[in-house]
Structure 1
């Protein structure tokens, strides 16, 4: 039996989410912040780019045709990170995750053999996180997508401990996908908000999970980091050095920081075959999964071709292209 090609980084746009939050207090302020972080030139490109991709983001038939053209058999579909809305109050946040989970499940149910879905969790309200996760899993979703932080809270915050514990117990997939970088308008030109901001946020979030001991306390977490984990996997030598030489750096986690790479998963979306080879070297070929960021412009239109450009061994290519995801997602 041929192993399917599985893309773990693909998005769905949910217009009903934006209808839910339209006009609510906090939305305008969040949009101002988003505009300041990205800058006017990026916003001028983003609008037309997203509009051109709406059919692929919303229409299952169009999605499947695009997958066929890419040679992708299965997508793990997560809501567009623009739907996080971590500014929302508790009542709105609960409505939002219920709707996002239901809408994503309905989208994937139109092609159950080819689409698996992820829901959302309101990280700004840790007390809702377990309930949101259980709702997603109860709908048949594989897990949930989370950002790199919520306003005023890092992923190392003790308030998230029940969430990590429940995700570990349930075997749920957690897809770590940043949205917005707290370097703010230092990155407001040349799309630095994404090209530098996303890998920076990945590195910060993963460092919080590692150095705080979250991965020690929850070794069974199934966490996939988007964008190859950002800057962290290929620059962990500096973290290892700090852990071994400074008492403050080594106080929170039990092992060398680089050793935790083999407890995490990473998508392959690094846009450089040499970086992909290095990611596989440091994390292990069994910890890297095909990812395309379908269908956005910062993704790849040819995810399998990007893998082949790295000139991996046949075994590693097979693992990354689908073998690892079959095991992780428990596909048969």
Structure 2
């Protein structure tokens, strides 16, 4: 084969000659470097390693492992049994290698296969299109006592459309809150998507049946992925980082009074950076353009009186986002 390449290389070169003969150039150069040794094995099928078992020996090992005596034993047990009887066929690793080549090695335990959860991608371009809801615990008066705060949030306006504080977490209570909030906001069939994590109340059948009856689409976060429900998580952080948020509540009445005051402040007075420094109430009820125009007039008047103070031109009002995403796709 090397001599044929030597013959044609003068006319067409080494690379075309090797390609025409089906010979690798590295093989040609390697055999050419040792002219006294013709490595015929590299030109055809590779020779098996000298320490490898022959075909008959491999068949003997495989038949032995398939025998009724050893068919339910592991290769290590087979190896030890044969040694005690004065026989040696091959190593334990070789037994496993033979079984693997016959596709007979796999996990024997009935292990749980986790399904692949699809990443939720939700877009809201107006209020009452996508709601996010979650439950957090508030510490009670003594250790191991909690109150459960249910909160439903509109992700476009950040407006808390519904909340409830109870002594226990229950699918029936969640069903009642969602139904009452949908009626209060006059939600029509096929108008709304409600997103939540995979808590027991969120994935319960009563809630699923209610949403189906109301014509509301439900979506869920992936397991252990808090970023799939960012707006509810951020709202809970705002709640618990308030200066007057207590370490513990003395009673459920005290906790409800605090939440009543907080959510009134949050909806009516809290200027939210994610919605152009507007309050959730202004955005949710369609007053944003009016407020933005008033702010634009104020800044325009200031620029008219003192243009030298604005080196980059007239100051601009923070705009209201055109859309709010949960997990924006890379193409958007």
Give the greater-gyration-radius structure (CA).
Answer: 2
Structure of higher RCO (CA pairs closer than 8 Å, 6+ residues apart): 1
Higher helix share: 1
Q: TM-score, normalization: structure 1? A: 0.22
Question: TM-score, structure 2 length as denominator?
Answer: 0.22
